[in-house]
Amino acid sequence: MRLLSGARIAPLLLRTALGALFIAHLYWKFAILPGGLGQWWSNFAANGYPSFVPYYVFSAEIAGALLLIPGIYVRWVSLYAMPMMLGAAHFWGTRNGFYFTASGAELPLLWFVLLVLQAMLGDGPYRLVASRRASA
């Protein structure tokens, strides 16, 4: 008897990978981007986005970084971050096209699909707080 089959461990691996990517993006904003978080924040207004958008994007990235890896409300965090990835795909797709090599929409669309899969697969093993399903 296998303790963790591939299908059972997939949500754990996916949420760990997504959480690590959110951490990497936050690190980039704080430590690597010239001008830091302030520059990133001001880019939204410079590109014509409403003032609430950076608040939402930042909160979605914080939620992904802090809650996905330990397994806290994984489905809800995934659902919360999905619109951000569609918005990022639209932003980069209209400016640079589809392909990743031109900083296009390809990568945010992949993130979106991974978040959809995470929401469908659920929390997985070794979660701290399970996402509750809505009763039918």
Of 126, 101, 99, 114, the closest CA to residue 64 belongs to: 114
The domain locations on the chain are: 7-121
Dihedral angle over CA of 59, 68, 103, 101, nearest 10: 170
Across the strands, what pairs with 94? none
**pTM exceeds 0.75, yes or no:** yes
pLDDT at 52: 95
Identity of the residue numbered 125: P
pLDDT at 1: 47
Task: Give me the average pLDDT of each 10-residue run along the chain (136 residues).
Answer: 74 96 95 94 90 96 97 96 92 79 84 96 89 62
For residue range 38-76, what is the model confidence (pLDDT) as tens digits? 999 999 889 888 999 999 999 999 999 999 999 999 999
- Phi and psi for 78 in degrees, rounded to 5? -60, -45
